């Protein structure tokens, strides 16, 4: 009988210890939603953590104590996308920056490993980084005037550790989106005024059928969470509305 009691106690201790260890292993991302290693920092700023690498799109209005970037992608030169002080906050000497030429001209004093000028309809690979490459498509307004096609601003598909992430930049629903294939996660602006609104963004998703969409470009300058909910209801695919 004593042997049975001792075995039972040992089993309880082992189970308790296992549960404790599992609980300690859970991530704490300071209150931000984290979906597949994705953090939305507001406006169009996306952070993707994949294995031991970190990618940022359009860092803007960033806080402190942030993880440093291995890669940064800047979609165009507007202040809420190409912000020297915010790019500096998430940079380290080894950071590789991809940016449109007009944005690069504003970042001459940024001391990092590599700066690569990007334009639409191109593929960019980096020697020594087999798990990361970038493909660009245009990003522009069709009837709005804020993002002319002639500026050659971009949306970017990051091929990152066997996943394809599409950050649309500031854009309307454009024909080039119909050429996109195999997108795992798309980041689409929904705020309206300067970009497509929630209804237009829902139409855009049907052009290329991403597995998942995270709405961006709302909540700080134009648009609000209600727009994100409208988008979710109309989208017809999986949507994650993140908090920032």
Question: Is residue 27 predicted with pLDDT exceeding 50?
Answer: no
- Across 49-65, average pLDDT: 95
- Pick 5 or 241 by higher pLDDT: 241
Residue 24's pLDDT is what? 33
Question: Is residue 28 predicted with pLDDT exceeding 70?
Answer: no
Average confidence score pLDDT of the chain: 87
Q: Where exactly are the structural domains of the chain?
A: 30-239
Question: Is residue 70 predicted with pLDDT exceeding 70?
Answer: yes
Residue 36's pLDDT is what? 67
Distances in whole angstroms, Cα of residue 176 to Cα of each of 120, 203, 209: 11, 13, 13
- Across 155-170, average pLDDT: 97
Residue 35's pLDDT band (cuts 50, 70, 90): low
Residue 11's pLDDT is what? 44
Residue 241's pLDDT is what? 95
**Token digits of residue 48:** 């993707």
Residue 221's pLDDT is what? 84
First to last CA, the chain: 57
Q: What is the pTM of this model?
A: 0.85
Are the beta carbons of 156 and 98 closer than 8 angstroms? yes
Residue 89's pLDDT is what? 96
Residue 223's pLDDT is what? 77
How many other CB atoms are there within 10 angstroms of residue 240's CB atom?
16
- Across 178-183, average pLDDT: 97
Question: Is residue 105 predicted with pLDDT exceeding 70?
Answer: yes
- Pick 13 or 90 by higher pLDDT: 90
**CATH placement of domain 30-239:** 3.60.15.10
Residue 244's pLDDT is what? 80
Taking the CA atoms of residue 221, residue 55, residue 207 and residue 136 in that order, the dihedral angle to the nearest 10 degrees is 100
- Pick 15 or 158 by higher pLDDT: 158
Non-local CB neighbours of 141 within 8 Å, separated by 6+ positions: 147, 148, 149, 171, 172, 194, 195
Q: Find residue 135's DSSP bridge partners.
A: 123, 157
- Pick 223 or 23 by higher pLDDT: 223
Residue 16's pLDDT band (cuts 50, 70, 90): very low
Question: Is residue 92 predicted with pLDDT exceeding 50?
Answer: yes
């Amino acid at each position: 009988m004593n042997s049975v009691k001792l075995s039972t106690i040992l089993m309880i201790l082992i189970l308790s210890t296992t549960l404790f260890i599992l609980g300690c292993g859970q991530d704490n991302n300071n209150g931000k939603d984290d979906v597949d290693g994705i953090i939305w920092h507001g406006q169009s700023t996306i952070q993707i953590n994949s294995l031991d690498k970190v990618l940022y799109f359009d860092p803007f209005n960033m806080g402190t104590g942030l993880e440093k970037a291995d890669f940064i992608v800047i979609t165009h030169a507007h202040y809420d996308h190409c912000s020297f002080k915010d790019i500096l906050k998430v940079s380290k000497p080894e950071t590789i920056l991809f940016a449109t030429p007009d944005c690069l001209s504003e970042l001459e004093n940024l001391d990092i490993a590599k700066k690569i000028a990007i334009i639409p309809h191109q593929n960019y690979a980096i020697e020594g980084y087999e798990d990361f490459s970038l493909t660009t498509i245009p990003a522009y307004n069709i009837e709005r005037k804020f993002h002319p096609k002639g500026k050659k601003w971009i949306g970017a598909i990051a091929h990152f550790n066997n996943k394809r992430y599409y950050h649309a930049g500031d854009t309307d629903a454009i024909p080039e989106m119909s050429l996109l294939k195999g997108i795992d996660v798309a980041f689409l602006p929904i705020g309206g005024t300067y970009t497509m609104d929630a209804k237009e963004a829902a139409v855009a998703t049907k052009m290329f059928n991403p597995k998942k969409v995270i709405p961006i470009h709302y909540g700080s300058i134009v648009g609000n969470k209600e727009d994100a909910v409208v988008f979710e209801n109309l989208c017809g695919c999986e949507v994650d509305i993140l908090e920032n």
